[in-house]
Amino acid sequence: MAVSRRRDGIYGYVEIDNPPVNAIGQEIRQGLLDAVDWAEAEGLERVILSGKGRALAAGADTREFDAEPPPPHLPEVANRIEKSPVAWIAAIHGFALGGGAELVLACRYRIARPDAMIGLPEVNLGVIPGAGGTQRLPRLVGMEKALELIPTGKPVSGVEAKAIGLVDELDDDPVGYAEMVNTEWLGMAVPVGELNSGAAEPEDFAKARRAAENRMRGQVAPLKAIELLELAQTASLEDGMRAEREAFVELRKSEQARALRHIFFAERGARAPDWLTAEPAKVEHVAVVGGGTMGAGIAYALVNAGQAVTLLETDADGVERARGNVGKIIDSSLKRGFIDDDGAAARRGRLTVSSDYGAAADADLAIEAAFESMEVKAEVFGRLQSVIRADAVLATNTSYLDVDEIAGTLADPSRLVGLHFFAPAHIMKLLEIVRGKASSERALATGFALAKRLRKIPVLAGVCDGFIGNRILSRYREAADTVLMDGSTPWDIDEAMVEFGYAMGIYETQDLSGLDIAHANRRRQDATRDPNRRYIPIGDRMVAEGRLGRKAGVGWYRYPGGGGKVVDPLIEDLVREEAHFAKVARREFSADEIRHRLLLAMVNEATAILGEGIAQTARDIDLVTVNGYGFPRWRGGLMHYADTLGAATVLEGLEGLAKEDALVWAPSPVVRDCAEKGISFSAWRR
């Protein structure tokens, strides 16, 4: 890790070298400061700043953020570069993000590769640009553009950067171009800090605030960034940067920033467990069985990652439907510019759709994504194992069914693993890798290797009803339905959880997916349900009334003309009637009480999952809840949030609720254990 520097004549070359992403830690900051002194002492005419390896710099080293980062601080480095009599030129390839972009803004001149990525994404980590970004960016690209980029954290490509004036030139060899920049021209470049900061209309700031409050509801950093941009219109660079620094230091210590850093690093730490040393199968050709929504999404994710795919269906009609489903995704990716015509052709070229299982005979892996019925899955695996190579790994995408039972239908159960994708499978990053009792380590390792290839977030799960995420969701739904029966409404419950930070409440979400899915799961559980556990029938009543959700035009809400949701007073009558039949004395529930119950229900279920070894760590539960179930990212995940409450508080809350229903609210052993030991849920280990 270092900042290397060399001279060639009157040119200086300064290169940031801190693999893998040139994060700017203390050593890099010191190295840059030393390079400014060196260039001046050598009387150089220019310094060309670049990054070694894949990019210029990923930004400040966020691993330093849990404590006061050691000096020198990045604002000082940026200011020294800007004020130096030696002109610094930024030569940008790969990404220049956060502090990396702030160094670029401090340079006198900027050249980028067209495919570079430049941005100030700090709000995604719960902070704001802390080294001049909020003060220099509007001076360079104008306030309206700065209002678009900083509160959203959105990066721009090199081409877009050139178009808005964030960089001066585009070239495939930014360093080479920097060597040819005309001296007089360079001499005329005005330091960004000396430019006037563009102003914007009050309505522009109001619009940015509304956008931040809509899209990043509950988050502090985007609004603070807008405040600092507003200040940049009138304050000197020095005063503006002072205010920015104070705000950054404050935010860096905030719960939201800690939560967002937690999930950022948790996602990057999601990989095969250390004990899993088996060699994964080499996977080049994958069979996917079932070309419905899930199967088509999985097939696209695979061809998108360069894998050959044979998508199997039952008959000619099924083949056409499947081909159409994947074709729709390819066309959409094409239309949105994610791929070009050649890319689309290459993906189509890697896809075979057939009703002949023999077409998958040489597949290295088969993923079953057929109808959620044990009979169908048994039939699919029976056919697969009769044609596919004996060393091929088999996987099921089941959301709820028992992976061990499916494995039991195979001659060799050890080759089966669960790969639970989340719809849409080519977009959602979460992948629950379900370990059956018989799953071989090779099969598991193959699942993790596939996750890496697909750039998914893998989480190891044990076998239980719903694995990790769906089991927590079932408990969330049960707790919500209980509050509904006992006195609330779907919209009050949804609003309470949206205020907590969910983008959408559980009732509106269920209307999207369809009430029949949970209904089918409740029927499947009838045989094993604890007869002493209070059963909430309202969901069954809804299905009985044909209120299946958006697809039926009515569910928990009504969707007139297929449009947006509207509250439906009829629901209150249905609930009142069911409550009457159940002899429930209904009462009011405040939003706080709704949140208290629903969140404690989920935390308790999650700790039970932890205690049973279905999930390995609290961090894994955070990955699942944030990346698969809409838990607010800026709260760090369900268990990170539970740790902000503390185990003792969770225990006390559960014991309070247990007075009304001891069975449903019994604190899990892990809650008791953490409360007694005074440890966090994230520290708990089996």
Give the catalytic positions in this structure: 102, 122
Helix 221-232 vs helix 133-141: crossing angle, to nearest 10: 60
Q: How many residues bind ligand T1G (CB under 6 A)?
A: 26
Contact between 121 and ligand T1G per CB under 6 A: yes
3-state percent breakdown (helix, strand, coil) of the chain, nearest 5: 50, 15, 35
Contact between 133 and ligand T1G per CB under 6 A: yes
Contact between 102 and ligand T1G per CB under 6 A: yes
Assigned token pair, 67: 């404590």
The answer to whether the beta carbons of residues 26 and 18 sit under 8 Å apart is no
Give min distance, CB of 120 to ligand T1G, in A.
7
Binding-site string for ligand T1G from residue 221 to residue 260, where x marks contact by CB under 6 A and - marks none: ----------------------------------------
Neighbouring CB atoms inside 10 A of 245's CB total: 18
Distance CA 111, CA 104 (A): 9
Distance CA 142, CA 529 (A): 62
Binder of ligand T1G out of 14, 36, 48, 60 (CB under 6 A): 60
Contact between 21 and ligand T1G per CB under 6 A: yes
Binder of ligand T1G out of 3, 23, 483, 536 (CB under 6 A): 23
Question: Pairing state of beta strands 87-92 and 46-51?
Answer: parallel
Of 407, 408, 412, 422, the C-alpha closest to 369 is: 422
Give min distance, CB of 127 to ligand T1G, in A.
5
Contact between 667 and ligand T1G per CB under 6 A: no
Q: What are phi and psi of 455, to 5 degrees?
A: 55, 45
Contact between 296 and ligand T1G per CB under 6 A: no
Using CB under 6 A, which of the segments 18-26, 34-42, 276-284, 386-394 binds ligand T1G?
18-26
Distance CA 345, CA 347 (A): 5
Which residues, numbered 547-586, are part of the site for ligand T1G (CB under 6 A)?
none
Position closest to ligand T1G via CB? 98
Question: Pairing state of beta strands 156-157 and 117-119?
Answer: antiparallel
Binding-site string for ligand T1G from residue 306 to residue 335, where x marks contact by CB under 6 A and - marks none: ------------------------------
Contact between 67 and ligand T1G per CB under 6 A: no
Distance CA 360, CA 354 (A): 9
Between 130 and 458, CB nearer to ligand T1G = 130
Between 457 and 670, CB nearer to ligand T1G = 457
Binder of ligand T1G out of 91, 111, 131, 623 (CB under 6 A): 131
Distance CA 16, CA 26 (A): 12
Neighbouring CB atoms inside 10 A of 685's CB total: 9
Binding-site string for ligand T1G from residue 261 to residue 290, where x marks contact by CB under 6 A and - marks none: ----x--x----------------------
Contact between 58 and ligand T1G per CB under 6 A: yes
Using CB under 6 A, which of the segments 126-134, 319-327, 520-528, 577-585 binds ligand T1G?
126-134
The answer to whether the beta carbons of residues 132 and 73 sit under 8 Å apart is no
Give min distance, CB of 374 to ligand T1G, in A.
38
Contact between 632 and ligand T1G per CB under 6 A: no
Distance CA 11, CA 46 (A): 5
Between 124 and 607, CB nearer to ligand T1G = 124
Contact between 20 and ligand T1G per CB under 6 A: yes
Using CB under 6 A, which of the segments 119-127, 224-232, 543-551, 579-587 binds ligand T1G?
119-127
Between 95 and 109, CB nearer to ligand T1G = 95
Amino acid at residue number 620 = D
Of 34, 54, 52, the C-alpha closest to 42 is: 34
Of 351, 431, 355, 415, the C-alpha closest to 381 is: 415
Contact between 125 and ligand T1G per CB under 6 A: yes
The answer to whether the beta carbons of residues 179 and 46 sit under 8 Å apart is no
The answer to whether the beta carbons of residues 303 and 309 sit under 8 Å apart is yes
Between 94 and 413, CB nearer to ligand T1G = 94
**Which run of H or of E encompasses 654?**
helix 647-658
> 3-class DSSP state for residue 289?
strand
Contact between 130 and ligand T1G per CB under 6 A: yes
Residues in the site for ligand T1G, rule: CB under 6 A? 20-21, 23, 58-63, 74, 95, 97-99, 102, 121-122, 124-125, 127, 129-131, 133, 265, 268
